[in-house]
Structure 1
Amino acid sequence: MNRSWYAPRRLLSYLLVAGIAVTSLFPLAWMAISGFKGQNEVLRTPFQFFPDVWRLDNYRLILADPAFVRAMVITFVGAVIFTVASLVVNSMAAYAFARLEFAGKRLWWLVCITPMFVPAMAILLTSFVVVSKLGMLDTLAVLIIPGVAASGQMFFLRQFYLNMPAAVEEAALIDGATRWQIFLQIFVPQSLGPFVVVGIASFLGYWNSYVWPVLVVSNPDLTQIMQYLATFRSARGNEWGLLMAGSTLAALPTILLVLIFQRYIVNGVRLAGIK
């Protein structure tokens, strides 16, 4: 390679990455800063990024709203339960399809991964009918149970389990270990990276869900945070600064989650590469 071109190309790549980062982070930064603005400053013309005077009133008011705090808490609780349940169900299914032999395995695997290719909106009405017939409407269970088994997560974890050495499993079987012991004591401890990827995907999917909660939940005590924000204008009027403060606080848990586990996310994706 001609070294005279190396520095300019490297500089260009840095500029490109910086441009992408700025473009991606600008809306988030504007939202957070708008929470410190007065009501008439958020949509001011001409555009002004920073407020004339930094105010904490919007953040104080939104945190003093019992409906907002309740929505944040109930959504967080539901997201944690949903994440744990997703990890348990999908990891066990992935292990079974990756390492066990049973009758109709290929057929059942086809059945399990088929939902990957079906848009969620296409089965929204039928899903509503099912949970309605089961008497699950207006319960926390209706927000958690229908989405626990996810074909995409099964597929992801199965690829990781397929790549694990068979010799370790065979040695454990020779020593008298059961399949449950092998799964819990060998496979689960080795699955931290993929579990983080699947767990974060589950948490984000639940936290950002809007259409399904609106359809199946009308009890104010179970209002999810995205429902709260979506109905904010009709309930509170054009208080844009307050809405931006609420949106910023609603985004914080997911941002912190990704920042804390970013190293595991990269390693998890790498380790679960397609076999």
Structure 2
Amino acid sequence: MTLTHEPSGSTAVTSPPVVRRRRPLTPTRVLAGVVRVLVAVLIIGAALFPLAWMAIAGFKSKQEVVRTPFQFFPEVWRLENYRTILDDPAFVRTLAITGLGAVLFTLLSLTVNSFAAYAFARLDFHFKRALWVVVISTMFIPGMTILLTSFIVVTKLHMLDTLAVLILPGAAAAVHVFFIRQFYLNIPRSLEEAAMIDGCGKFEIFVKLFVPLSKPPFVVVGITSFLVFWNAYVWPVMTITSPDLYQVQQYLATFRSERSSELAMLMAGSTLAAAPVIVLFLIFQRQIIANIKMAGLK
């Protein structure tokens, strides 16, 4: 500790800088690090093995896919399966319809859930707490338990065999409202007050202030909504019977039942169907993890 004299004549006490010493490497620490790396490699390998096998199986012949003993790589790499499935107009149409529906579902989900989150986070209205309890309670209701009642509702609304039956029922989700609301609660009210002084109303504040600041939760909610729609199977099977509106998972299930001997082509189609989801996750994985961590800290 040293004493220094300031211009005013007072004496200030300054402490020496803290020097952090690295812990020396010991055999125990090295072994623990090696074990952690091996465990991580095993977990990653177990997670990626099915995807790798599916993609590689698309390059095999019909006999090689079901050959025993198991053979991971094909003897001859073939592109016929991928070419054939891409030449199928029904498969291409299915990808296009599913992609369009996923984009519309994502946009609607962001709109509805962000409006609801803003209302519960910033607006005051009657029975607000009671309604919030009702909304949160729906998070604990399994989706399978309301499939029958949901089917009856969309049937009476004459929505079967339309793209709307895939988009509208699941657009509002309590978990997304809760996630976005938690983010909105941490936006300083001083920003709102400044906007109100400038003459902005509640709607303008939401559009001009909250929406531009909502990129972190919007990324998580948007990607989650896209994945939910893209991977849906049970609901499309219940509500869609027209082949022109078949979804990806519905098409693959039909392909498997009607052409069960062509497993290599099925693996090729499954790989192409999974590719957009994998690419989307790889692009936004850092933002997803960072935003989830931020939401957890808040």
Which residue in 2 is equivalent to 1:153?
176
Superposition pairs of residues 174-189 of structure 1, within 5 angstroms: 174-189=197-212
In 2: Cα distance, 1:238 partner to 1:232 partner: 10
1:103-126 Cα distance to aligned partner (Å, 9 max, x none): 110111112222211111111000
**1:129 and 2:144 are equivalent in the alignment:** no
Q: Distance in 2 between matches of 1:114 and 1:274?
A: 23
| 1:273–1:164 CA distance, 2 compared to 1 (3 A) | farther
Q: Percent identity of the aligned residues? A: 60
Aligned-pair distance for 1:271? 2.8
User: Paired residue for 1:81?
Assistant: 104
Matched ranges for 1:72-221 at <5 A: 72-221=95-244
Indicate whether 1:250 and 2:290 are aligned: no
- State the shift of 1:273 in Å: 2.6
In structure 1, distance between residues paired with 2:61 and 2:73: 11
User: In structure 2, what is the Cα distance between the partners aligned to 1:266 and 1:201?
Assistant: 13
What is the deviation of 1:274?
Answer: 6.0
The Cα RMSD (Å) is 1.3
For 1:245 and 1:215, locate their aligned partners in 2 and report how far apart those are by CA, in whole Å: 26
* Counterpart secondary structure, 2:64: coil
Deviates more, 1:82-91 or 1:181-190: 181-190
Matched, 1:6 2:1: no
Greater relative contact order structure (CA < 8 Å, 6+ sep): 1
Q: C-alpha distance in 1, partners of 2:209/2:235?
A: 37
One-letter identity of the residue aligned with 2:138: P
Instruction: State the alpha-carbon separation in 2 of the partners of residues 229 and 246 from structure 1.
Output: 7
Gaps of 5+ in 2: 1-22
Which residues in structure 2 correspond to 1:40-59 (within 5 Å)? 40-59=63-82
Quote the offset at 1:55 in angstroms: 0.2
Post-superposition Cα deviations, 1:34-68, rounded to whole Å, max 9, x if no partner, equal 00000010121101000000000000000011111
Tell me which amino acid in the other structure corresponds to 1:6: R
Counterpart amino acid of 1:138?
D
TM-score by length of 2: 0.89
SS class of match (1:198): helix
The one-letter code sitting in structure 2 at the alignment partner of 1:120 is: G
2:159 counterpart letter in structure 1: M
> What is the one-letter code of the residue matched to 2:167?
I
Q: Structure 2 residue aligned with 1:23, among 46, 52, 55?
A: 46
The answer (yes or no) to whether the contact 1:160–1:273 under 8 Å persists in 2 is no
Distance 2:285 2:115 in 1: 25
Aligned partner of 1:82: which letter?
A: F
- Alignment partners' CA distance in 2, 1:238 and 1:113: 47
Amino acid in the other structure paired with 1:140: L
Q: Which amino acid aligns with 1:233?
A: R
Instruction: State the partner residue of 1:272.
Output: 295
Radius of gyration: which is bigger? 2
Aligned to 1:227: 250
CA 1:6–1:173 in 2, change beyond 3 Å: closer, same or farther?
farther
Q: Could you tell me the TM-score, scaled by structure 1's length? A: 0.97
- In 1, Cα distance between equivalents of 2:286 and 2:207: 24
Q: In 1, distance between residues paired with 2:183 and 2:35?
A: 36
> How many pairs were matched up?
275
What's the secondary structure of 1:146's corresponding residue?
A: coil
More helix by share: 1
1:67 is aligned to 90
Task: Indicate conservation of the 8 Å contact 1:68/1:228, yes or no.
Answer: yes
User: Helix, strand or coil for the counterpart of 1:190?
Assistant: coil
* Structure 1 residue 213, shift from structure 2 partner: 0.4
